[in-house]
Amino acid sequence: MKTYLVTGGAGFIGSNFVLRERSNAKARIINLDLLTYAGNLMNLQSLDGDKGYVFVRGSIGDRKLVRKLLDEYRPCGIINFAAESHVDRSIDGPEDFIQTNVVGTFHLLDEARHYWEALPEREKSQFRFLHVSTDEVYGSLEPDDPPFREDTPYAPNSPYSASKAASDHLVRAYHHTYGLPTLITNCSNNYGPRQFPEKLIPLMILNATSGKPLPIYGDGLNIRDWLYVEDHCEALSLVLEKGKPGEMYNIGGRCEKTNLEIVKTICTILDEIFPDSPHVPHESLITFVKDRPGHDRRYAIDCSKIENELGWKPKESFETGIRKTIQWYLDNPEWVESVQTGEYREWISRQYGGESIG
Ligand code: NAD
Ligand code: TYD
């Protein structure tokens, strides 16, 4: 059986990926995660006792630890999810983003190179380093601009997207210079189970169900492309298996929506589920707040390369995916409670200037 080293596997997308890989017992997974505020072992509780899964707490920037794991478990691939991932936090304090996303990725990449160079020829040709990145590296689109393609020039606007762009460049350079078989994926906004509730969709679901304000930045007309997390994970498996080393693949849902549309959809579904709630209509909770500094106006992804070359297509529409997502948050109150503790409350208070929003 194949072994993969997954980094950041206790976070939102990483945990969905690990659960998916283990559910079909396709590969043994070694999960290296620092467990920052965004990492949550409850995400992976169902793997307790699974002999094909190993959890190690630590940083991708800890070279000695990374080297030890590579030597001990001899993976045939690394999937790098580990990152600081929240744009607003990167504006509040960019330092951790540089340390993890840039310096950390560099250390991981360099250890991967040394390990890969010493592999026997057959294993060497099969090894892959898959770096999970974002569409935000391409910057912001005007309303009539065509969607981002793999050859769209990078123009990151936030400390988060700049740090991701820097790490993408390092990965690219390691392929070009050393021949390391790298793959980069640039995906649009994900939503689904296990997303930390400071991101738009879970924040709105949880605030609306408890009658708290729904804070919309600026005029609410910023556009994002949305993809259900399991569709992203399937795309990643496919890229890992069939992607061409050195290539980039854009991944998206062909699902552009304004933030206001997203929030109104969530409110309408909650009105349906809880017709007797005192918060009906949930839309009345919408509150326009100060805009995010440097807020990108629009992201859109042209994913025809992965569709045409690897045969990927998302299974979930926004209408079905958002219902599943809402239901998951309603069905998992212990999870919600476990993540809404100290550090998270402090962040909410810094970000929105009071305790009432989150
Ligand atoms: P997340 O914040 O939920 O999870 C990140 C995980 O990385 C956490 O478990 C955290 O503990 C871990 N981590 C942080 N620093 C670490 C370090 N130094 N060493 C080891 N582990 C560390 O993020 P996510 O939303 O799951 O995103 C995963 C990846 O996908 C990120 O690289 C992100 O840039 C990218 N991405 C996210 C989205 C999205 O919409 N969420 C879209 C496209 C790409
Ligand atoms: P977010 O989930 O932080 O993802 P990203 O910034 O990576 O796209 O935000 C998605 C969109 O929602 C973005 O345009 C900012 C907006 N937003 C709000 O309007 N209010 C909020 O409270 C949050 C967290 C985000």
pLDDT over threshold 70, residue 68: yes
Write down the mean pLDDT value for the chain: 96
Residue 258 or residue 351, greater confidence:
258
Q: Kindly give the distance from the C-alpha atom of residue 80 to the centroid of ligand 1, in angstroms, as a whole number.
A: 9
Residue 358: predicted pLDDT: 52
As a whole number of angstroms, the distance between CA 347 and CA 343 comes to: 6
User: Which class does domain 2-194+226-255+295-317+343-352 fall in?
Assistant: alpha beta
Residue 347: predicted pLDDT: 67
Average pLDDT over residues 239-252: 98
Average pLDDT over residues 254-267: 98
Using a 6 Å cutoff on CB, does residue 8 contact ligand 1? yes
Using a 6 Å cutoff on CB, does residue 11 contact ligand 1? yes
> Which residue type does 36 have?
T
Q: Could you write out the DSSP letters of every residue in 16-64?
A: HHHHHHHHTT-EEEEEEE---TT--GGGGGGGTT-TTEEEEE--TT-HH
Residue 150: predicted pLDDT: 98
What is the b/e burial string over 107-122, where b = at least 16 CB atoms within 10 angstroms of the residue's CB? bbbbbbbebbeeeeee
Q: Are 190 and 12 in contact (CB under 8 A)?
A: yes
Using a 6 Å cutoff on CB, does residue 190 contact ligand 1? yes
Using a 6 Å cutoff on CB, does residue 100 contact ligand 1? yes
Q: Are 89 and 47 in contact (CB under 8 A)?
A: no
pLDDT digit string (tens) for 39-58?
999 999 999 999 999 999 99
Q: How far is the CA of 245 from the CAs of 75, 111, 173, 239, 301, in angstroms?
A: 17, 18, 12, 10, 21
Smallest-distance ligand from the CA of 216: 2
pLDDT digit string (tens) for 169-182?
999 999 999 999 99
Average pLDDT over residues 333-346: 81
| β-pair partners for 184 | 131, 248
Residue 357: predicted pLDDT: 54
CA-259 nearest atom, ligand 2 = 12
pLDDT digit string (tens) for 101-159?
999 999 999 999 999 999 999 999 999 999 999 999 999 999 999 999 999 999 999 99
Which residues lie below 8 Å from residue 213, measured CB to CB, with a gap of 6+? 207, 285, 286, 287, 356, 357
CA-104 nearest atom, ligand 1 = 18
Using a 6 Å cutoff on CB, does residue 265 contact ligand 1? no
pLDDT digit string (tens) for 183-219?
999 999 999 999 999 999 999 999 999 999 999 999 9
User: What secondary structure letter does DSSP report for 294?
Assistant: T
**Of the residues 259, 261, 297, 322, which should be mutated to test ligand 2's pocket, given the most ligand atoms within 8 Å of the CB?**
259
Residue 344: predicted pLDDT: 65
pLDDT digit string (tens) for 280-312?
999 999 999 999 999 999 999 999 999 999 999
Q: Are 63 and 111 in contact (CB under 8 A)?
A: yes
Active site members: 135-136, 160
Average pLDDT over residues 73-93: 98
Average pLDDT over residues 17-38: 94
Model pTM above 0.85: yes
